[in-house]
Amino acid sequence: MFNQLSKFQGFMLACAFLFLSGCEEQKAPNVKILSEQEASDLWKRAESHAPVGELVVRKHRGDGGTIKTATQVYRLKMQAGKPGVSVAASCSGSCKLTPGGTFDDCKTSGCEPSGNSCTPLSCSGTCQLSNSCTPPIIIVFAP
């Protein structure tokens, strides 16, 4: 279920971007969810990267625990003067409630995009780690 949620999260992120981007009639942006290998290759070709906007963090109640997702948009400056690209990196992980634990007392930290990787997820309070923070889902937005 956790992997399906991550794919769904990526799909919803792409849909939200298209809805909010105010696409031109003649030319809609090209949106693609990259495989881990494609994402690795893209980051290797980047000369530098910079975050765009604020980190978006969501905590959802899942099946017996808490699911944390964090998304950051980056602008990649490509090598050799090639046009830059915008990417969204989205990380997710989950914590399982301990017996008698409550959602409000389950605290999470980490599991946030850091360029082409994610920081580790930490669970405390009335929950424990159930799914480590996944490698980031990388979505490319190109004209």
Q: What are phi and psi of 121, to 5 degrees?
A: -90, 135
28 to 8, 19, 139: CA distances (angstroms): 22, 11, 15
pLDDT in tens, 6-49: 555 555 555 444 444 444 455 666 889 999 899 999 999 999 99
For 82, what's the count of Cα atoms within 13 Å in the CB-facing half-sphere?
A: 11
Q: For residue range 54-88, what is the model confidence (pLDDT) as tens digits?
A: 999 999 998 789 999 999 999 999 988 888 889 99
Domain residue limits, the chain = 2-16+26-142
What is the token pair recorded at 108?
A: 């999470």
